[in-house]
Structure 1
Amino acid sequence: MEKIESLEEFYKRKFDWIPDNIKNEIGHFNVFEHEPIEVGKTKPLPYKRRDFFKIMLVVGNIDMSYADRVVAVKKQAIFFSNPQIPYKCENLERIEEGFFCIFNQHFFHRFGDLNQYSVFQPTGNHVFELSDEQVEQIKPIYKKMFDEINSDYVHKYDVLRNLVFELIHFAIKMQPAASFEKQQINASQRISTMFLELVERQFPIDENHPSISLRSASDFANQLNVHVNHLNRAVKEITKKTTTQIIAERLLQEAKIMLKHSNWNVAEIAYALGFTEVTHFNNFFKKHTALSPSKFRNG
């Protein structure tokens, strides 16, 4: 998989210039309007991670690929990307209009952890189809961003952070209310949360992080300093899944990503994901997809 794209590389690729304030001590933020692209003039956008967050409103039927999913946007949508999840947009010439803002984690230093919001979590929803009415509600938020970033107001970056939160909460509130039922914060939930964070911390696999070290429930229990039975009960209580299911699902997701978007061979992928034998990886993959890794890659 291609290496992560930096803010500097993004500006160079997109605009062939780099802003002077990109190393600003308060972090970086910018907002843009999508310009129409002529058919045949669009450059393919590589499937990769970026070291910044992006929230994009698009009107037009494009294809969004992120993690191991592909979402065909039929008419219009808002899309959330973060540094942990690789993505790409296809058919950009079909964008009729749109806006996007980009910012790094440092821009929100001391203003909250963006990763706590489902739109930026690996298992969360990242693409939200919008009605015409919803588009007209979101457009003014971006227009306010343009007004603020071009103003001389001394606290304009506070306003811009609030506008980013408006977009985040707008999308989250679109999800079913059942997703937000309050759960009692107890020991089981804390252990489950730490377990899920440890699982995610091992990914994505790339040249900077070539293999995982935790594969079994016992591995995670030892890392969390709890008995494996206690971990299994806590995870089952909170997620309704076993630790083995969750680990397998995440391994499968990463395997699909690597097979489709990296040039590593099947053996290299198998060992990176902690399988001691390629045959074990082949059996694991076929059990969950009914396809061999090679057939999935070439399909």
Structure 2
Amino acid sequence: MSCRGIAYLCYQMNLHEDLKQDERVWMPGVLDKDVRHFNIFYVQHNRDDKFNCKPYNRKGLYKISLLKGKTKLYYADKTMDFDSALLFSNPNIPYAWEHVESEQSAYFCVFTEEFFDQFINIREYPVFKPGNVPLFHLTPEQFQHFAGIFKQMLEEITLDFAYKYDALRTMVLQLIYAAMKLEPATCQQYKDSNGSMRIASIFMELLERQFPIESAMQRMELRHPKEFASQLAVHINHLNHALKTITGKTTSQLIAERIMQEARSLLQHTDWNISEIAWSLGFDDLPHFIHFFKKNQRLTPKLYRKAQPL
């Protein structure tokens, strides 16, 4: 899907929010709770459409893609080639792809974690977990089977049926369960220099996407090197090697520098108490944060805040 397509998808999923501002629009509650959390579509592309994409987004979209046509997938420091495949992605597993031949077609369904919130914990399924290969090669028969489910979903979403999203949830689970019975695709490593550059780039994006901290209720989710390594599906030593090669700094140093940057900003520009700042930056106890800050700044958080101009 092109970046233009992703933008259109986000527009569609935001459209309901805009419509709610209009008192003339009414929607049954059973539909209202799900319409913003799920969408499905079928697309065809030629080479001019620049068929590649990264699944980063502020909406936290999960995506299941049924892809047909010679395609190359880039995943962390790995690459995979396929003709027909089923691809799973969640908001924290970065990848990109590009088509190799001129004609491409694909089915996509996208949904938020909230779409399954009351029913299951979707992030616990292996196809969405970090460290697992998210791509499944398909035979022509398998492709037709999955295409049949997507076609049924496309038809279902157009129906005037109050419980259609419950039916769609069931169909999404059909895709997941059927995929888990298949063998995942094998992959190859990038050449070392390209692989290191890609890992470093994705690491920095994953780190930066956690900032700025805009509310005392917001908290860093990725705080330790092993958590980043898990998201990137690489060994922690491999992550350290890549970052040291590209940036000259270790994983821990890069994380600490970014946390300190945010800590100084929060101390200077908010009236949050220091315990709130410590919690939002992933520290479980205040003394740990004070020790960390003093080690890097040569001042305690309290003294640093007092030293700032009003």
Q: State TM-score, norm by structure 1.
A: 0.58
Unmatched 5+ stretches in structure 2: 19-31, 185-204, 212-219, 228-232, 258-310
Matches within 5 A, 1:17-36: 17-19=11-13, 20-21=15-16, 25-26=33-34, 27-36=36-45
**153 and 258 in structure 1: CA distance in 2 versus 1, 3 angstrom threshold:** farther
Unmatched 5+ stretches in structure 1: 1-8, 177-202, 221-247, 276-299
TM-aligned CA deviation for residue 115 of structure 1: 1.5
1:271 pairs, out of 253, 267, 291, with: 253
Secondary structure of the structure 2 residue equivalent to 1:165 = helix
Find the counterpart in structure 2 of residue 132 from structure 1.
140
* Pair 1:69 & 2:71 matched: no
Deviation per CA, 1:232-280: give whole Å up to 9, x if none. Answer: xxxxxxxxxxxxxxxx9542464588689xxx833275612679xxxxx
Residue identity matched to 2:210:
N
Aligned equivalents of 1:257, 1:100: Cα separation in 2: 33
Residue identity matched to 2:118:
R
Residue identity matched to 2:81:
A
Find the counterpart in structure 2 of residue 148 from structure 1.
156
Secondary structure of the structure 2 residue equivalent to 1:79 = strand
Asked if 1 retains the 8 angstrom alpha-carbon contact of 2:55 and 2:91, the reply is no
1:99 pairs, out of 107, 113, 124, with: 107
TM-aligned CA deviation for residue 159 of structure 1: 0.5
Structure ID, larger Rg: 2
Matches within 5 A, 1:191-230: 204-208=206-210, 214=224
Deviation per CA, 1:161-215: give whole Å up to 9, x if none. Answer: 0100011011101139xxxxxxxxxxxxxxxxxxxxxxxxxx9433426996556
Deviation per CA, 1:64-114: give whole Å up to 9, x if none. Answer: 1223322111x1000000011111121276453221111111111111011
RMSD value over aligned CA atoms?
A: 4.0
Aligned equivalents of 1:116, 1:206: Cα separation in 2: 25
TM-aligned CA deviation for residue 47 of structure 1: 7.2
Asked if 1 retains the 8 angstrom alpha-carbon contact of 2:244 and 2:250, the reply is no
Asked if 2 retains the 8 angstrom alpha-carbon contact of 1:82 and 1:120, the reply is yes
**69 and 14 in structure 1: CA distance in 2 versus 1, 3 angstrom threshold:** farther
1:54 pairs, out of 63, 80, 95, with: 63
Residue identity matched to 1:109:
D
Aligned residues: 209
TM-aligned CA deviation for residue 125 of structure 1: 2.1
Residue identity matched to 1:121:
K
Q: State TM-score, norm by structure 2.
A: 0.56
